[in-house]
Amino acid sequence: MIPRYSRPEMTDIWSPETRFGIWLEIETLAAEAMENLGQIPPGVTAAVRKRGGFDVNRIDEIEREVKHDVIAFLTSVAEHVGEEASFLHKGMTSSDVLDTCLSVQLVRAADLLVTGIDRLLTALEKRAREHKLTPTIGRSHGIHAEPTTFGIKLATFHAEFQRARARLLLAREEVATCAISGAVGTFANIDPRIEAHVAKSLGLSIEPVSTQIIPRDRHAMYFATLGVIASSIERLATEVRHLQRTEVLEAEEFFSAGQKGSSAMPHKRNPVLTENLTGLARLVRSAVTPALENVALWHERDISHSSVERGIGPDATIHLDFALHRMSGVIENLVVYPDSMLRTLESMGGLHNSQRILLSLVEHGVSRDDAYRLVQRNAMRTWGGEGPLLDLLKKDPDVSSKISDAELEALFNLDYHFKQVDTIFERVFGTA
């Protein structure tokens, strides 16, 4: 985890304090169920609730000795609780605690990531509505194609992050399971009702069948989903980077008053945030392959997944969380230049309307071949720098004899391209 790309809300989820706190919660809930079932003496749960606690440094100290984290934790808890602690963990296996805890952490992380997506969605919708009818050239292959609006551009990202949100909720559901099933998952020494109680209390589902551990296809799906979301961030970051490049400059990341891009060149405002987000997307995605490799554990379990998860668990969620908020900030504060967009749009002398002229000539009785020839000879002149296409067409008798100047001007009306913007906005945002 790279501290400068983290937010405390997410790093807290992965702190030792949080982890051991969840462990204690799991052990206490399990004890409560056992007590209710009469399997341990009454009063144990109350004692743990009252005096329960742990000391992170003490746990580290014990672990160095016994080389077993759960035993170290239980020992520390016992030092707080007293002898009632001996009834904790009865019939349970370490994985019951570790894996259920990881579920809780991943669920909390997902919830926090949803918050980040929501912030981004809000920003995208706000800016999309603001620029709903701001004309800008649509580009395919990096080449000017036909007009669109900056609002539609942003709407495509809103739709994409709506999907990201839905996927994240599914990924959350994938990992929201609890397994308290004992060694090799047979419930030989622990009643399934205990699992049910812990699961319900923690807002988790029970794991239908576990092989000592919660199966890792769930986690693979979770991290794969983070990877897809990171890729969507990369698409948005790439768009901003393109818009900010000197020759385009249709939009810019916000620069604070004091911030300096370069000592003397006032145009040197680099899209450093979105470049950074491009790199963060690569980092988040790098969790996907090891998560997939973690699935095929040997037999009922091996522990090769553990070191991987100590890395990718915090890293992927922390960096994605940071990226969502950084991306939100970029969109919220994005400096948009509608004039520049219009200038770019017009820079091709109206060539993007050539298809409409062609269709109009055909409708006015010109054969398709002739119409094509007429359009192209004027388009070539515009491209060659001889003037806007509309002017040339008006002056071309073969065209002007067919289409009046007023009609020609109408064919260059930008609004033609925007007549379905409401439809698109309704589809994406629910209302136009």
User: Hey, which residues between 360 and 379 contact a second copy (CB under 8 A)?
Assistant: 368, 372, 375-376, 379
The structure tokens listed for 45 are: 């749960």
Regarding 432 and contact with a second copy (CB under 8 A), the answer is no
| Distance of alpha carbon 349 from alpha carbon 351, whole angstroms | 6
Residues 334 and 127 sit within 8 Å (Cβ to Cβ): yes
Radius of gyration of the chain (CA): 31
Shortest Cβ 236–a second copy spacing (Å):
8
* Minimum CB–partner distance for residue 54 and a second copy (Å): 18
Tell me which residue of 317, 318, 320 sits closest to 234, measured CA to CA: 320
Binding residues for a second copy, total number by CB under 8 A: 147
Nearer to a second copy, 53 or 338 (CB): 338
The single residue among 39, 231, 333, 400 that binds a second copy, judged by CB under 8 A, is 231
Q: What are phi and psi of 7, to 5 degrees?
A: -125, 140
Choose, by CB under 8 A, the member of 302, 405, 407, 409 that binds a second copy: 302
348 makes contact with a second copy (CB under 8 A)? yes
By CB under 8 A, residue 292 contacts a second copy: yes
Task: With contacts defined by CB under 8 A, name the span among 46-54, 108-116, 289-297, 403-411 that binds a second copy.
Answer: 289-297
Closest CB to a second copy among residues 50, 245: 245
- Confirm or reject binding of residue 152 to a second copy (CB under 8 A): yes
Residue 335 phi, psi (nearest 5): -90, 115
CB of 215 to a second copy, least distance (A): 6
Q: Which is nearer to a second copy, 28 or 93 (CB)?
A: 93
Among 232, 317, 328, 360, binds a second copy (CB under 8 A): 232
Q: Does 211 bind a second copy (CB under 8 A)?
A: yes
Q: How far lies 309's CA from each of 48, 106, 213, 376, 412, in Å?
A: 30, 11, 14, 61, 58
Q: Which stretch binds a second copy (CB under 8 A): 7-15, 106-114, 115-123, 218-226?
A: 218-226
Biggest CA-to-CA distance, the chain: 103
Which residues have CB under 8 Å from 174's CB, separation 6+?
A: 218, 219, 221, 222
Footprint on residues 118-137 left by a second copy (CB under 8 A): 137
By DSSP bridging, strand 177-178 and strand 205-206 are parallel
Site for a second copy (CB under 8 A): which residue of 254, 383, 407, 409? Answer: 383
Q: Which one, 50 or 68, has the nearer CB to a second copy? A: 68
Residues 12-51 that bind a second copy (CB under 8 A): none
Burial 43-57 (b: 16+ CB within 10 A, else e): ebbebbeeebebeee
Q: Is 320 in the site for a second copy (CB under 8 A)?
A: no
Catalytic residue set: 141, 262
3-state secondary structure of 140: strand
Q: Restricting to residues 65-84, which ones interact with a second copy according to CB under 8 A?
A: 65-68
E strands, 52-142, in order? 135-140
Q: How far is the CB of 279 from a second copy (least distance, A)?
A: 4
Interaction between residue 141 and a second copy (CB under 8 A): yes
Is residue 239 within the footprint of a second copy (CB under 8 A)? yes
Per the CB < 8 A criterion, the answer to whether 425 and 124 are in contact is no
For 70, how many CA atoms within 13 A lie in the half-sphere containing its CB? 16
Whole-angstrom Cα distance, residue 252 to residue 236? 13
Distance CA 102, CA 69 (A): 14
Work out whether 187 is an interface residue with a second copy (CB under 8 A): yes
Min CB(283)–a second copy separation in Å: 5
238 near a second copy, judged by CB under 8 A: yes
Nearer to a second copy, 97 or 237 (CB): 237
Establish if 138 lies at the interface with a second copy (CB under 8 A): yes
Amino acid in position 162: Q
